[in-house]
Structure 1
Amino acid sequence: MADKNYTELLNDLKDNKIKELVVKPDEFTEFQVAYMNFDTRKRVIGKADQNGVITYTYLSDSGTNS
């Protein structure tokens, strides 16, 4: 598995370049480091699916997920 740049992916989510970010259980530890250092992490909303997969979206200024 190639390492993902989660900081870049979180910025893409924030900038609406991507609609969602899917994180699998084996990626979570690496993702969490970027997430905890992300300046607007309180706007990143995660929804847990089966098997520990989490889909993140970004809460826009209008109050809705983009």
Structure 2
Amino acid sequence: MENQYTDFLEKLKLGEIQEIVVERDDFFVFREAWLARSDRTEFVGEAGLNGKIIYRYLEKKK
């Protein structure tokens, strides 16, 4: 079974979506997809209430 966050992370990078909201119960599933990416440092998370994290893609300037 494919990790749904793999697709979400790619869409976020391409600008098709603006953010990913990860609930506390889904964090380890998200983390698995995030760790598999070579550009993972460009996904920035902002902590919210009750363990919710909002991720956005911020491409580093070269």
TM-score over 0.5 for the pair? yes
For the aligned residue pairs, the C-alpha RMSD in angstroms reads: 1.6
Q: For residue 4 of structure 2, what is the aligned residue in structure 1?
A: 5
Identity, % of aligned positions: 37
Where in structure 2 are there 5+ consecutive unaligned residues? Answer: none
Runs (4+) of structure 1 moved beyond 6 Å?
none
1:14-62 Cα distance to aligned partner (Å, 9 max, x none)? 0000000000000001110000001210000000001000000000355
Q: 1:4 to 1:34 in 2, by over 3 A?
A: closer
Structure holding more helix per residue: 2
Amino acid at match of 1:20: E
Q: 1:4 to 1:33 in 2, by over 3 A?
A: closer
Q: For residue 35 of structure 2, what is the aligned residue in structure 1?
A: 36
What is the TM-score normalised by the length of structure 1?
0.83
Where in structure 1 are there 5+ consecutive unaligned residues? Answer: none
Distance 1:41 1:4 in 2: 16
Amino acid at match of 1:9: F
Question: How far does residue 4 in structure 1 lie from its aligned partner after superposition?
Answer: 5.7
